[in-house]
Amino acid sequence: MRRKVTVIGAGMVGRTVAQEVARRDYADVVIVDIVENLPQGIALDINQAGPVLGYEANVVGSNGYEETAGSSVVVVTAGVPRKPGMSRDDLVTTNEKIVGSVTEQAIAHSPDATLIVVSNPLDAMCHVAKNVSGFPKERVFGQAGILDTARFRTFIARETKSSVKDVQALVLGGHGDQMVSVVSATTVGGVPVTKLVSRDRIEEIVERTAKGGGEVVDLLGTSAWYAPGAATAQMVHAVMLDEKRVLPCTAYLEGEYGVDGLYMGVPVKLGAGGIEEVVELELTEDEQTQLQESADAVREVVGVLSS
């Protein structure tokens, strides 16, 4: 019998994750959403793409959690986007209730699952999922760094007229304007980016990366979904296939990088056990300072949580 991946939330990110996992053909997928008929329709559509794309995964849509029982990985994308006039505190309070509720229902049916959180504000919602589930920190983590790094890599590749496959980079810290693009660890085909791109231009790219989500919102009128969905699916693959990938994820830190008791984006080794190792890079003094500033910003958001 195939293993199972559950995606909670049938919005654009959730359905992209479901499609990408189905296409890899190693697990069945359950999509859960409170909107009647929506997850069922998406599941049917993804199933009917199987004969064309050559996968056998069975995708099921549900408005409840019974179908999710025994899931190996649960991806939480549920929550409301920030609307005009909504304060950050309002968003935290609203999504805390939603993420808390769906986490509680999901773990009741899949007590051994690994939880991957995508809902925003990401860093705070990871705290919610960890507190509600009671799971060890290794099995509760969030997707942000892969997306932010993908944006940074895209811009560097375009600037240097290189293949994105040859650009290696990391973006750490909170998922917001104070994310830290680690320029000292950025290379193109093994060559440091500082030898290929001027310092001023690099700073412009770093700034564009930090505001990458907002740029998409300005163009589309809504949040991105292809890149976030693909980034989340990469994390699912790493866990389900025990790939031992080193990827930037939002992990609970207990002293690493000088940060304690906080979810932050850092490079980790992802495998069947979830986060199997936090990889500590040697940052420049400036990058370490930026990371601490990012941690302070995350603590402020987390401080809005009711528990």
Domain boundaries in the chain?
Answer: 3-142, 145-302
pTM value surpassing 0.85: yes
Q: How far apart are CA 168 and CA 10, in angstroms?
A: 32
Reading phi first (left if > 0) and then psi (alpha if -120 to 50, else beta), residue 30 is in beta
For the cut 90, the answer to whether the pLDDT of residue 63 exceeds it is: yes
- Tell me, yes or no, if 175 is annotated catalytic: yes
How far is it, in rounded angstroms, from Cα 298 to Cα 277? 22
Q: What CA–CA distance (Å, rounded) separates 100 from 95?
A: 8
Across 183-212, average pLDDT? 97
Asked whether the predicted pLDDT for residue 110 surpasses 80, the reply is yes
CATH class as words, domain 145-302: alpha beta
- Give the pLDDT of residue 84: 67
Tens digits of residue pLDDT in 149-175: 999 999 999 999 999 999 999 999 998
For residues 218-238, average pLDDT: 95
Contacts of 136 (CB under 8 A, 6+ apart): none
| Average confidence (pLDDT) over 175-202 | 95
| Distance between CA atoms of residues 113 and 71, nearest Å | 6
pLDDT of residue 132 exceeding 90, the answer is yes
Residues in the chain: 307
The band of 230, judged by pLDDT with boundaries at 50, 70 and 90, is: very high
Question: Do 3-142 and 145-302 have matching folds?
Answer: no
> Using CA atoms, how far apart are residues 144 and 87, in angstroms rounded to an integer?
21
Across 30-39, average pLDDT: 98
pLDDT of res. 302: 92
Where residue 77 falls among pLDDT bands split at 50, 70, 90? very high
Contact indicator for 124, 96 with CB cutoff of 8 Å = yes
What integer best gives the mean pLDDT of the chain? 95
- Percentage of residues in the chain having pLDDT higher than 90: 91
Residue 118 CA neighbour count, 13 Å, CB half = 31
Question: For residue 178, what pLDDT is reported?
Answer: 86
Q: Is pLDDT at 88 greater than 80 in this prediction? A: no
What's the pLDDT at 75? 98
Please give the average per-residue pLDDT across 263-286, as a whole number. Answer: 96
Q: Mention the CATH class of domain 3-142.
A: alpha beta
Tokens 């009711």 found at: 306
Return d(Cα 134, Cα 12) in angstroms, integer: 29
List CB contacts of 297: < 8 A, sequence separation 6 or more: 174, 176, 178
Burial readout 76-98 (b: 16 or more C-beta within 10 A, e: otherwise): bbbbeebeeeeeeeebbeebbeb
**What string of DSSP letters covers 221-279?**
SS---HHHHHHHHHHHHHHHTT--EEEEEEEEEESGGG-EEEEEEEEEEEETTEEEEE-
Name the residue with higher pLDDT: 221 or 243: 243
Amino acid letter, 102: V
CA distances from 224 to 8, 198, 216 (A): 17, 29, 6
Q: Which of 26-35, 187-196, 215-224, 274-283 has the lowest mean pLDDT?
A: 215-224
How much is the pLDDT for 81?
Answer: 79
Q: How far apart are CA 123 and CA 171, in angstroms?
A: 15
Kindly indicate the confidence band of residue 259, based on its pLDDT and cuts at 50, 70 and 90: very high
In whole angstroms, give the CA distance from residue 104 to residue 100: 6
State residue 117's pLDDT score.
98
Q: Is the pLDDT of residue 284 over 70?
A: yes
The arithmetic mean of pLDDT across residues 176-199, rounded, is 95
What pLDDT, on a 0 to 100 scale, did the predictor assign at position 222? Answer: 86
- Average pLDDT of the residues in 29-41: 98
Contact 71, 282 (CB under 8 A): no
Task: Assign residue 274 a region (left: φ > 0; alpha: ψ between -120 and 50; beta: otherwise).
Answer: left
Q: Tell me what pLDDT residue 177 has.
A: 81
